């Protein structure tokens, strides 16, 4: 999705609400930001922003229903190929989607500084 607040392309995401399960948080955030209802299938990555101390958990999901649409949080919503992901998204967001496509042997664990991967 292209964020409404800064125009960057990023996967949908956000902060869990108190008492909310990981899977329910994924469902809620994706629907709020894109209009698409998903079912989380598996954890594909854990990503830590070392400067901010924020940890993001990324899940591969299957679409259940709905159509991608513009929302208050998304200026645009669309499906990208792996090549388009690499070209359109910043490194720390692109790697999350590419890992989700490739991670067959378990979740990837990565650190970054907010712009670039570390290590």
Q: Give every CB contact of residue 55 below 8 A, 6+ residues apart in sequence.
A: 46, 47, 48, 49
What is this structure's pTM?
0.92
**For each of the chain's 119 residues, which pLDDT tens digit applies?**
999 999 999 999 999 999 999 999 999 999 999 999 999 999 999 999 999 999 999 999 999 999 999 999 999 999 999 999 999 999 999 999 999 998 678 899 999 999 999 98
Domains, the chain, with CATH or none = 2-118 (3.90.79.10)
pLDDT, position 14? 94
Rounded (5°) CA angle 114-108-22: 80
């Amino acid at each position: 999705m292209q964020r409404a607040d800064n125009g960057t392309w990023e996967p949908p995401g956000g902060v869990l609400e108190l008492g909310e399960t990981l899977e329910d948080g994924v469902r809620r955030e994706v629907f709020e930001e894109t209009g698409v209802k998903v079912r989380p299938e598996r954890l594909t990555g854990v990503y830590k922003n070392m400067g901010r101390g924020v940890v993001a958990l990324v899940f591969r999901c299957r679409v259940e229903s709905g159509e991608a649409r513009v929302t208050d949080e998304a200026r645009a919503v669309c499906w990208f190929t792996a090549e388009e992901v690499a070209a359109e998204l910043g490194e720390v967001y692109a790697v999350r989607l590419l890992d989700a496509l490739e991670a067959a042997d378990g979740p990837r664990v990565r650190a970054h500084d907010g712009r670039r991967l570390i290590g």
